[in-house]
Amino acid sequence: MTSQDGNISSPVLELDHYTDESNAWQFYGYTLTTHRVYNATDGSIEFPYQAVAAATAIAFFRTTVYSTKEPMAIRLTFAVLLAALAYARKSYELILAVEVFSYSFVVLSALQPRKVLSTWLDRLLYGTVGLGAAAAMSYAFAHCLVTGLVMETLQLLTPSIVLRGLYYLIPIKECTEAYEMIQSLALPYEVLPSQIAHLFFVTFHIQTGMGFLGINFLKKEQQRRNMLVRMDVAGAEDGDEPSDTDSDASNGKSAKPSPGAALETSAQSKHASSKLARSRRFQRSALPFIFRSALPYMLQIIGYGNLNAFSFHCFCHDLHRTVRYHQTLSHDAHWMAMTQTPVSPERKQH
């Protein structure tokens, strides 16, 4: 407490903000701690599986969000390349540039004017120039986006009334306040931007990818519902009794005999058998729907959703620990401020 020159300096406690992996709790042999892990090789401190999560997220996105004209081989190649870049902890600028380029490559291939480019030399020239331009533009776009230039330009170009409307509709101000608060509490505060960038990277790619998956699944589900509804509607259009009458009959109400009842009975039995066949077809399609659509969708939602949630929990738990003990114990003054308990309320009178 006392320095050499006689002045008492305020003590600041030194705290480790990471944990040793060997001390972490394991789940079936996998460490599932949300503490930052110290990497002895490069001296970095990051969350466990951070690189794996980033690689998985971007590979999932690239294989899910694609153009129908894009060949599977190209899609997989780009997915593997992007995953490798993310796993190797390359900068987000580079990863984003490659990602944008992978989509512009598809657009460029689709727009290729085959009639004009008759010879292989023309096509080679078009490909070289086009790909070069696409690569340069992709990198420029990624650079502007990562450095915030895109946002600044958009803010400048957007009319102020539209900006005010956006601020009114979207809680931007509240989010800014929350970010500033988190920034003022984060320890060490230099880590926070990279943590948020990683979380946004994983969340954006997984959630948007799952959104695309959801569209296809919802369409398939709606088709099945429509099949179910049409079973009754098609029957009525073919001359079947409406479903209300069917339900009345099933409830025990007797139908009055009418002229030509025998003819009607024959037609009814024909339509009933047709209805039964449609019903069986519908029932038979249940298992393929479950195994080909529902289960894969469910597994992807659970798996990728959990990966996204794990990334968020790493971030959230880190903040929790910061407030609970890093900040509280990082300085004697913080500690003293929190140790005024328990105190009787009557004491406060003093």
Q: Of 203, 274, 293, 300, which one interacts with another protein (CB under 8 A)? A: 203
Beta carbons of 93 and 142 less than 8 angstroms apart: yes
Alpha-carbon distances, residue 199 vs 146, 188, 313 (angstroms): 15, 17, 10
Residue 15 CA to residue 321 CA, distance in Å, equals 12
Residues 94 and 111 sit within 8 Å (Cβ to Cβ)? no
Residue 185 binds to another protein (criterion: CB under 8 A): yes
Residue 237 interacts with another protein (CB under 8 A)?
no
Residue number with CB closer to another protein (52 or 316): 316
Instruction: Specify whether the CB–CB gap between 209 and 65 falls below 8 A.
Output: yes
Pick from 22, 119, 250, 340: which binds another protein (CB under 8 A)? 340
Cis? peptide before 193, omega within 30° of 0: no
Tell how strand 26-27 and strand 30-31 pair up: antiparallel
What's the burial of 154, exposed, middle or buried (CB within 10 Å: 0-12/13-18/19+)?
exposed
Which of 178/276 has CB closer to another protein? 178
Q: Least Å distance between CB 301 and another protein? A: 10
One residue of 6, 29, 113, 260 binding another protein per CB under 8 A = 6
Residue 196 Cβ, how far from another protein at the closest point, in Å? 10
- Rounded distance between C-alpha atoms, residue 239 and residue 346, angstroms: 85
E-only strand ranges, the chain:
18-19, 26-27, 30-31, 36-38, 45-46
Q: Which is nearer to another protein, 1 or 72 (CB)?
A: 1
Site for another protein contains 207 (CB under 8 A): yes
Binding residues for another protein, rule CB under 8 A, total 68
Nearest CB to another protein, comparing residues 103 and 204: 204
Nearer CB in complex with another protein: 179/291: 179
CB 91 within 8 A of CB 119: no
Interface of this chain with another protein, residues 9 to 48, rule: CB under 8 A: 9-10
The only residue of 94, 182, 231, 234 in contact with another protein, by rule CB under 8 A: 182
Burial of 95 by CB count in 10 Å (0-12 exposed, 13-18 middle, 19+ buried)? buried
Binding residues for another protein (CB under 8 A): 1-2, 6-10, 65, 168-171, 174-175, 177-179, 181-182, 184-185, 199, 203-204, 207-208, 210-212, 214-215, 218-219, 221-223, 225-226, 308, 312, 315-316, 319-320, 322-325, 327-328, 331-334, 336-346, 348-350
